[in-house]
Homo-oligomer: A and B are copies of this chain.
Amino acid sequence: MDVLGHRVGGGELTLIAGPCAVESEEQLMPLARSLKAAGVQWIRGGAYKPRTSPYEFQGLGVEGLRLLATARDEFGLAVVSEAVDETSLARVEEWADVIQIGARNMHNFELLKRAGRTRKPIFLKRGFSAQMEDLLWAAEYIANAGNPDILLCERGIRTFSDHSRFTLDLSIVPRLLAASRLPVFVDPSHACGRREDIHALARAAVAVGADGVMLEVHPDPESARSDGPQSLSPDEFFGIASDLRHVHAALRSGEEVAT
C-alpha cells in the first residue's frame, strides 16, 4: 500500500507520530518539524476526540484538520486523523490522507460502512474488548462497502491486569499477519498509558513483526490537553525512532541467521 508515496508493509517499518489532539499552531508546527527531522513520514493528530466525559476537551474540529494539512504541505507528512461520525468523516476525508476509526467505534457498523465508501485508506483500531474475529469483521464491513485499503492496529484490551491502562496484546500481530494481507500496526501509547514503558513496548511491537508503530508525541507533555502521561517529548521520540529503525534492520538480518 502507498500513501503520499510512502510505502506501508512489505518489510518497511512505518512510524506514525504526533499529538493525541491538535491544540494550536504553536503546538503542531514545531512538532511536525521535529518529526520530519527524526525521519518520520506520517503525522497523527486528533481533531475530533471521543472522550469518556462530555466535559473533557473534544477537539478543534476543522480548524485542527487545517493545521494538519499545513503540516503536510510544509513537511510532506502524510496525515492520519480520526473520524467519529458521518459529519467528521466527510471532513477528515477532505483534509487528511488516512482516516482513523478509533477503538470505541470499531463496533460502530454504520460508520464502518460509511468509511467503506470513501477513497482514503482507513486506519482501524481494535476495540478494547474485540476478539480478533470481530476486528476482521469490522475490516470486512469497510472492504465490503468498497474500500480495500485498511490498516489494522492493536492498542490494548481490557483485562483485570491493573499495572497498565489496557493490556497490549502483541500475540494478535502474528495471527493477523497470518490471517489477512492487511498491514498491522501497534499503538503502545494508549495501551500502557505510561511514558517510561513506551520504548520497551515499541521495540516489542517491531520485534513481534508489526508493520508499523503509532506513538503519541507532544512538544510539552506536561501541558497536553489529553494523554499527557503517555506522550513522549520530541527528544525522547527522536532517540526511540532511531532505535526502532536499528532494531528493525537487525531483525531482518536475524531472519537470515534463523533460516
Contact = CB atoms under 8 A, between A and B. Distances in A.
Interface of A: 50-55, 84-88, 104-105, 107-111, 113, 127-129, 131-134, 137, 140-141, 144-145, 157-164, 167-175, 178, 191-192, 196-197, 199-201, 203-209, 239-240, 242-243, 246-247, 250-251, 253-255, 257-259
Nearest to A178: B196
A187 to B, nearest CB: 13
A170 B170 contact: yes
21 contacts: A52-B133, A52-B137, A54-B145, A129-B160, A131-B163, A157-B159, A163-B171, A167-B167, A171-B192, A173-B200, A174-B196, A200-B209, A203-B207, A203-B254, A204-B204, A204-B205, A239-B258, A240-B258, A243-B258, A246-B250, A250-B254
Chain A, interface SS category: helix
B141 A54 contact: yes
B162 A131 contact: yes
A254 B258 contact: no
B51 A109 contact: yes
A12 B27 CA distance: 42
Contacts of A253: 246
Given A168-B171, A175-B197, A200-B207, 10 more contacts: A52-B133, A157-B167, A158-B158, A159-B160, A161-B172, A164-B172, A167-B167, A178-B196, A203-B208, A247-B247
B157 A161 contact: yes
A31 B163 CA distance: 38
B132 A203 contact: no
A257 B246 contact: yes
B128 A129 contact: yes
Contacts of A257: 239, 242-243, 246
Contacts of A242: 257-258
Contact of A132 (B84, B107, B163): B163
B259 A239 contact: yes
Nearest to A48: B110
Nearest to A164: B171
B159 A174 contact: no
